[in-house]
């Protein structure tokens, strides 16, 4: 394909590729702490449809010291983390600006796998002897955004005083 291009077209293509690479580097490293800001809970809550989730997160006890991306993005390696950050971020932008934000925000199947993997990663010593086939939040309901602050527990685990 490149053989069919003229010298001028090849130069234009090279300039376009270099410009895209420089733009990518600038957006990643350029503006002061842009990458860090985009991983903060306040950035995630800047979209008005996430207000309820952010409010619940701020009352999430021990988990509120984490960033949204600690649970909601793959953290097994940097490449996977930033690839999914880009995919999820663009999906969120498209939903928001198209006006097609669902009334009830729920985890996708992929999102549930990521959150579960991050729960297991953080609580590895606690869950090493447990059956991890179920989702953590099926028992630990108060860690979900909608269960935070509510006294929701598994009725099978409750004891009578």
| DSSP assigned state of 64 | G
Query: What is the average pLDDT score of the chain?
Result: 78
Q: Are residue 71 and residue 8 in the same domain, yes or no?
A: no
Do the domain assignments include residue 161? Answer: no
- Judge whether 87 and 95 are in contact, CB under 8 Å: no
| Domain count across the chain | 2
Residue 59: DSSP 8-state: T
Structure tokens at 138: 């099926």
What phi and psi values does residue 63 have, to the nearest 5 degrees?
A: -75, -15
Prediction pTM value: 0.66
pLDDT at 114: 93
Assess whether 45 and 20 both reside in one domain. Answer: no
Coil, helix or strand at residue 18: helix
Residue 11 domain boundaries = 1-30
Residue 50 lies in a domain: yes
Residues 22 and 47 reside in one and the same domain: no
CA distance 143 to 152: 10
- pLDDT value at residue 152: 41
> Does 57 map to a domain?
yes
Which residues of the chain have a pLDDT value below 50? 149-161
Residue 95, pLDDT score? 83
Q: Is residue 158 part of a domain?
A: no
Residue 40's pLDDT is 82
């Amino acid at each position: 394909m490149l053989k069919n291009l003229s010298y001028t077209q090849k130069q234009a293509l090279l300039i376009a590729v270099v410009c895209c690479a420089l733009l990518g580097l600038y957006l990643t490293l350029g503006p002061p702490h842009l990458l860090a800001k985009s991983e903060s809970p306040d950035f995630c809550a800047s979209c008005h449809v996430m207000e309820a989730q952010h409010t619940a997160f701020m009352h999430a006890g021990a988990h509120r010291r984490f960033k949204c991306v600690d649970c909601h993005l793959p953290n097994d390696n940097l490449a996977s983390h930033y690839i999914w950050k880009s995919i999820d971020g663009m999906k969120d932008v498209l939903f928001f600006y198209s006006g097609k934000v669902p009334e009830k925000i729920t985890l996708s199947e992929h999102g549930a796998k990521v959150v579960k993997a991050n729960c297991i990663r953080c609580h590895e010593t606690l869950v090493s002897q447990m059956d991890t086939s179920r989702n953590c939040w099926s028992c630990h309901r108060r860690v979900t955004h909608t269960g935070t602050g509510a006294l929701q527990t598994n009725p099978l685990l409750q004891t009578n005083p």
